[in-house]
Amino acid sequence: MTFAGLRAFEPVSIDIKAGSFVSIVGTSGCGKTTLLRIAAGLLTPSEGSVDLGGARPGMCFQDPRLLPWRNAMDNVTLPLELAGASPDECQDRGIEMLRMVGMGDAWNRMPSQLSGGMRMRVGLARALIERPPALLLDEPCSALDEITRETINELLADLWKELGMTVVLVTHSLAEAVYLGRQVVVMTGRPGRVVSVHGIHLPSRQPEVRTTVEFARALQSIYRDMTLPRPPGGIAPSSLAKYAGGEP
Amino acid sequence: MKRVIHSLWPPLALVAALLLAWELLILVFQIRSFLLPAPSAVLRALIENADSLSRSLGLTALAAVGGLVVAAIAGTVVGSIVASSRLLYRGAYPIATLLQMVPLVAIAPLLVIWFGYGVKSALASAAIVSVFPIIANTVDGLRSTDPNLRELFRLYGASRSTTWWKLALPWAVPNIVTGLRIASGLAVIGAIVGEFVSGYAGADAPLGVVVLSSMREARTDLVFAAVALGALVGFTLFGAVSVLGWLLMRGRG
């Protein structure tokens, strides 16, 4: 994949088992989002391909991208409407999906009347309404506060268990990646490449698991792969002196 | 209702104060009626000529509303075509801007040649004057569509026409309504200028002709009465467009 002559990726090959939950982490600019957009068909790679089994994946973005003139129900049913489904089918599936994400009572609220977490739930319901075989999540919680992020994470875990689709989550949060993912792919940038793939084996998937040693170890091993090498002996005092105005 | 009253009373009070000052000015300085009639004289002229003026009002309103409707449809269609391609935008937009500079008064006689005397020419004149702000605002609105939402529609495989209908056009509604608001005032101006050139005198004279004929007869009170009715058409159109805009945009936040 190249952008304006710049190579965005080294050869990247990720094998994802159908029905698994994979988190992709990496520093800013390492190409995680680009990879996800290629998988969604929004970008065409200059070489290679992404195979998600043929069907169109569902996708949820950092900003839920709701149409401000449509209520929650009409936003959720947009993909079906664009695919030519009947209004009855749209309504039935729309209310089912809204109930699934805990928004059944707010179906007629406009996006301006919804909180950030509620808007994200609507975005998730829209991404899932076509029952896609894969769900692509591009930092869905990064703009949310800590408590809302927790509830959305729990919802994501429940939806994955309930629907059994493949989920690919791009996130900046290592804790989120480890808690939700059964596999964590670590990428590094310029050009983007996969550094390592970690299988995550935790004793449980309850929120309390985040205080266990196993969770800490998983985090540590990923963190090690993400840390940039430092010069031996740290930063030389001589290189700091010129910023302090002193002589080297 | 309380909010409406709250927002309406300051301008209404100001208008009342200005009318009162005007009336007093005429009384104190004994200004002759054919130079500047008092508001009470204008009101009297309105009441005495209510029958003929209401017919005139109807004709001018028909030309202005008809012109605005034609401009709204044509402006949205042309704006959508211009915004649909970068090449068209770069080619057509400067030409449209230049066309706006053509003085309407100079081309109004041409409208008589093309559409004949009567309401059709006034309607065409109103449409020509009011179409540009609608085109310009439609183009701006369509071109400002959120690229993230465009990407969303691409993700779901929407065609260009579907994207226009379900995304770009609703997105551009606030801009189009702004264009319509500007155009509503211009439509009345265009209709009256058209009537100056194409209107029939007599019982079915539109407001533009009433202004001209009253001026020749030194009936300045009647000129003011016709101008006031023309302004009323403009206010009503502006109000109707504002209500339409509110209906189309409520809940957007």
pLDDT digits (tens, 9 = 90+) for B194-205: 999 988 777 779
- Among B101, B123, B110, CA closest to B190: B123
Which portions of chain B are predicted below pLDDT 50? none
Kindly state whether A68 is in contact with chain B, defined as any CB-CB distance less than 8 angstroms: yes
So what's the pLDDT on residue A224?
83
So what's the pLDDT on residue B251?
77
The size of the A-B interface in CB pairs under 8 A is 48
Question: Which residue of A lies nearest to B173 if distances are taken between CA atoms?
Answer: A69
- Tell me what the mean pLDDT of segment A30-58 comes to: 82
Enter the CATH code of domain B38-249.
1.10.3720.10
Distance CA A48, CA A103 (A): 40
Distance CA A104, CA A93 (A): 12
Tens-place pLDDT, residues A115-131? 999 999 999 999 999 99
Residue holding tokens 């075989």?
A133
Q: Is the pLDDT of residue A246 over 50?
A: no
Tens-place pLDDT, residues A174-195? 999 999 999 999 988 777 788 8
- CB-based burial, B80-109: b 16+ in 10 Å, e otherwise: bebbbeeeebeebeeebeeeeeeebeeebe
Q: Is the pLDDT of residue A245 over 60?
A: no
Superfamily classification of domain A1-57+133-248: P-loop containing nucleotide triphosphate hydrolases (3.40.50.300)
So what's the pLDDT on residue A232?
61
Kindly state whether B147 is in contact with chain A, defined as any CB-CB distance less than 8 angstroms: no
Start-to-end CA distance of chain A, whole Å, equals: 44
Kindly report the average pLDDT of chain A as a whole number.
85
What are the structural domain ranges in chain A? 1-57+133-248, 63-131
Cross-chain Cβ contact B157/A111 below 8 Å: no
Partners of B152 on chain A (C-beta within 8 Å) are 61, 65
- Compute the nearest-CA separation of B156 from chain A (Å): 6
Q: Is the pLDDT of residue A243 over 80?
A: no
Tens-place pLDDT, residues A95-107? 999 999 999 999 9
- Tell me what the mean pLDDT of segment A153-163 comes to: 91
A92, amino acid identity: D
So what's the pLDDT on residue A247?
46
So what's the pLDDT on residue B92?
85
So what's the pLDDT on residue A248?
41
Describe the crossing of helices B220-249 and B39-48 by its angle, rounded to 10 degrees. 90
Show the CA angle centred on residue A222, arms to residues A217 and A224, nearest 5°: 95
Q: Is the pLDDT of residue A72 over 60?
A: yes
Selected residue of B145, B148, B156 to mutate for chain A interface (largest A Cβ count, 10 A): B156
So what's the pLDDT on residue A6?
60
Kindly state whether A59 is in contact with chain B, defined as any CB-CB distance less than 8 angstroms: yes
Q: Is the pLDDT of residue A14 over 60?
A: yes
Confidence of residue A34 (pLDDT cuts 50, 70, 90): confident
So what's the pLDDT on residue B103?
83
Work out whether the CA dihedral B35, B38, B44, B47 comes out positive or negative: positive
Backbone angles phi, psi at A38, to 5 degrees: -65, -45
Percent of chain A with pLDDT over 90: 48
Question: Which residue of A lies nearest to B253 if distances are taken between CA atoms?
Answer: A112
| DSSP string of B100-138, one letter each residue | HTS-HHHHHHHHHHHH-SSHHHHHHHHHHHHHHHHHHHH
DSSP-derived pairing of the beta strands A183-188 and A193-199: antiparallel
